[in-house]
Amino acid sequence: MGSGRWDPGAWTAYSSSTVGKSTAKIYTSRGMNKDLDPLGVAMRESRDSVDNPLSTPIIVALDVTGSMGMIADTIAREGLGVLFTEILDRKPVTDPHLMFMAIGDANCDQAPLQVSQFEADARIIEQLTKIFLEGGGGGNSFESYNLPWYFAAQHTSIDSIEKRKKKGYLFTVGDERAPAPLTVDQIKRFIGDDITQDLPTKDLLRMAQKMYHVFHVVIEEGNHCRYDHDGVLKSWDELLGQHVLRLSDYTKLSEVVVSAIQVIEGEDKAAVVKSWSSTTSVVVKKAIDGLTTTKGKKASEAVVRF
pLDDT at residue number 159? 98
Residues 6+ apart with CB under 8 A from 109: 65, 134, 136, 137, 138
Residue 272 falls inside a structural domain: no
Does residue 244 contact residue 237 with C-beta atoms inside 8 Å? yes
Residue 86 falls inside a structural domain: yes
pLDDT (mean) for 209-224: 97
The DSSP call for residue 41 is: -
- The DSSP line for 164-179 is H---EEEEEEESSBPP
Does residue 101 contact residue 57 with C-beta atoms inside 8 Å? no
Residue 101 phi/psi, 5-degree rounding, is -125, 155
Residue 212 falls inside a structural domain: yes
Residues 6+ apart with CB under 8 A from 280: 252, 255
Q: Is the pTM of this model over 0.75?
A: yes
The predicted-structure confidence for 140-181, as pLDDT tens digits, reads as follows: 889 999 999 999 999 999 999 999 999 999 999 999 999 999
The predicted-structure confidence for 119-140, as pLDDT tens digits, reads as follows: 999 999 999 999 999 999 887 8
Q: How confident is the model at residue 306 (pLDDT cuts 50, 70, 90)?
A: very low
> What domain range includes position 65?
8-249
Residue 177 falls inside a structural domain: yes
Query: What is the residue type of 306?
Result: F
pLDDT (mean) for 231-240: 98
The CATH number that applies at residue 49 is 3.40.50.410
Whether the pLDDT of residue 280 is over 70: the answer is: yes
> 192 — alpha (psi -120 to 50), left (phi > 0) or beta?
left
Q: Please give the mean pLDDT across all residues of the chain.
A: 94
Residue 110 falls inside a structural domain: yes
Does residue 239 contact residue 200 with C-beta atoms inside 8 Å? no
Query: What is the residue type of 215?
Result: F
Do strands 156-158 and 113-115 pair parallel, antiparallel, or not at all (unpaired)?
unpaired
Residue 276 falls inside a structural domain: no
Whether the pLDDT of residue 296 is over 70: the answer is: no
Residue 103 falls inside a structural domain: yes
How many domains would you assign to the chain? 1
The DSSP call for residue 146 is: T
